[in-house]
Amino acid sequence: MKNWLTLALTSLRERVKLPDQLRSVVVDATAGFAARLSPRERWLVVFAGIALVGICFSLFVVAPLLDARERLQAKVVAKERELSEVATLDQSYEALRHELEVVGSANGSTLSPFAFLEGLTTSTLGREKLAAINPIGHEDRGGLARETIELKLSGVSLQELVDLLYKIDVTGTTLRCTNLAIKKRYKDPYTFDVTLTAIALNTR
């Protein structure tokens, strides 16, 4: 143990650059302190020094590395969330582009109001929720052709119904909803069966 302390003191003299007088005082004080310690106390000092080095290593090396890792993980999570939002926006864009194509076709002379309403409904709700669509009347009066269409929907939510009504209203066509009957489902109170009547006016 004395040899180890002597080597440590020698290394301390070589590495610590202090004025000669101050260095002598520090080395002598350290040597005197070591000489007064019992072997057990010297071991305790050694263990305390090792513990101090470990604490300093944890505080100044390990902790900054862990903080840097947490920041990187947070950035990865944020980028994954942004990627998910971009994918959602891309799907919304494709759906809107498809609806725009349907509306553009509806404005043409080749697509009837019946076909337009059917296409708009299936693109908005899906074909499985379109229970039936039937023309229930056609009338010519004063140079105008009035066509009445009945649409039956199965298992739609209120939000889906609002979306469909909004799209019917803003398409720029003469198609308008004139009657709406909503029936709640007992097994699923959040979905409804809907019967919708719409009319379309066209110039003859």
pLDDT in tens, 38-64: 677 767 777 777 878 778 877 777 778
The rounded distance, in Å, linking the Cα atoms of 55 and 61 is: 10
SS3 183: strand
Listed by start position, the domains of the chain span 2-60, 107-203
pLDDT at 14: 53
For residue 37, pLDDT over 70 is answered with no
Going 124 to 125 to 130 to 136, the CA torsion angle's sign is: negative
**Alpha-carbon span 34 to 79, nearest angstrom:** 58
Report the pLDDT value the prediction gives residue 194, as an integer from 0 to 100. Answer: 93
**Strand ranges (E), 7-143:** 130-141
Average pLDDT estimate for 169-179 = 81
Q: pTM, whole model, 2 decimals? A: 0.46
Greater pLDDT, 55 or 7: 55
Out of 34-38, 168-172, 176-180, which region has the weakest mean confidence (pLDDT)?
34-38
Residue 16's pLDDT band (boundaries 50, 70, 90)? very low
- Beta bridge partner(s), residue 139: 146
Q: Which fold has domain 107-203?
A: Alpha-Beta Plaits (3.30.70)
Residue 197, judged by CB atoms within 10 A of its CB (0-12, 13-18, 19+), counts as: middle
Could you tell me if 86 and 146 are in contact, meaning their C-beta atoms sit under 8 angstroms apart? Answer: no
Residues 87-112 pLDDT 10s: 777 777 667 666 655 555 544 445 68
Does residue 198 surpass a pLDDT of 60?
yes
> What are 141's two structure tokens?
């009066």
Helices (H) and strands (E) in the chain, counts: 6, 4
